[in-house]
């Protein structure tokens, strides 16, 4: 017997939170939060919900996340960039980018930065975001962003 394919797995995300939507193409559930003040706050909110900040493990998943925030534009305050959200990676003390699971981006399976990124703008961009489906570095707390949480049932 082979493993069940993604489409045969339970659509349950394992939490009592209708904000999480099952995505068959990646086998994960995702929730979009429209405004989060800081990356750390975003990380804590996802953990509190039983998930974690989304980690991109494939090109497919980058496109899923891109579509999630496009789908959620209705929640967008006028000054917020709808194509930009905190996700689960940041700069470690030794200057390497690591996911909230402690993997390098390459180990996680997706390390495509947006053109010109990471640019460490003003020397103060230590946290990770996704912008139009590609990676970006962004200040951890100076500018609020939406965030995307992930649960892998």
Integer Cα distance of 61 and 67 in angstroms? 10
> Cβ closer to Ca ion: 36 or 62?
62
Give the other-Cβ count within 10 Å of 51's Cβ.
24
Shortest spacing between CB 9 and Ca ion, in angstroms: 15
> Cβ closer to Ca ion: 82 or 109?
109
85-99 burial, b for 16+ CB within 10 Å, e for fewer?
A: bbbbbbbeeeeebbb
Shortest spacing between CB 59 and Ca ion, in angstroms: 12
Shortest spacing between CB 87 and Ca ion, in angstroms: 9
Shortest spacing between CB 136 and Ca ion, in angstroms: 5
Interface residue list for Ca ion (CB under 5 A)? 55, 57, 117, 119, 125, 136-137
Contact 134, 117 (CB under 8 A): yes
Quick one: DSSP state of residue 68? H
> Cβ closer to Ca ion: 125 or 126?
125
Contact 110, 60 (CB under 8 A): no
> Cβ closer to Ca ion: 74 or 146?
146
Contact 135, 112 (CB under 8 A): yes
Shortest spacing between CB 116 and Ca ion, in angstroms: 8
> Cβ closer to Ca ion: 82 or 139?
139
Length of the chain: 153
Give the HSE-up count for residue 81: Cα atoms under 13 Å, Cβ half-sphere.
12
């Amino acid at each position: 017997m082979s493993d069940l394919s993604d489409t045969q797995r339970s659509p349950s995300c394992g939490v009592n939170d209708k904000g999480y939507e099952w995505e068959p193409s990646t086998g994960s559930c995702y929730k979009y939060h429209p405004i989060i003040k800081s990356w750390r706050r975003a990380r804590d909110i996802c953990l509190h919900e039983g998930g974690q900040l989304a980690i991109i493990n494939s090109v497919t998943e980058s496109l899923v996340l891109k579509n999630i925030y496009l789908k959620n534009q209705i929640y967008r305050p006028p000054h917020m960039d709808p194509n930009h959200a905190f996700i689960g990676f940041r700069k470690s003390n030794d200057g390497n980018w690591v996911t909230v699971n402690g993997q390098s981006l390459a180990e996680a399976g997706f390390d495509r930065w947006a053109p010109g990124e990471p640019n460490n703008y003003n020397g103060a961009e230590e946290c990770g975001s996704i912008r139009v489906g590609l990676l970006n570095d962004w200040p951890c707390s100076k500018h609020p962003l939406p965030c995307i949480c992930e649960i892998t049932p």
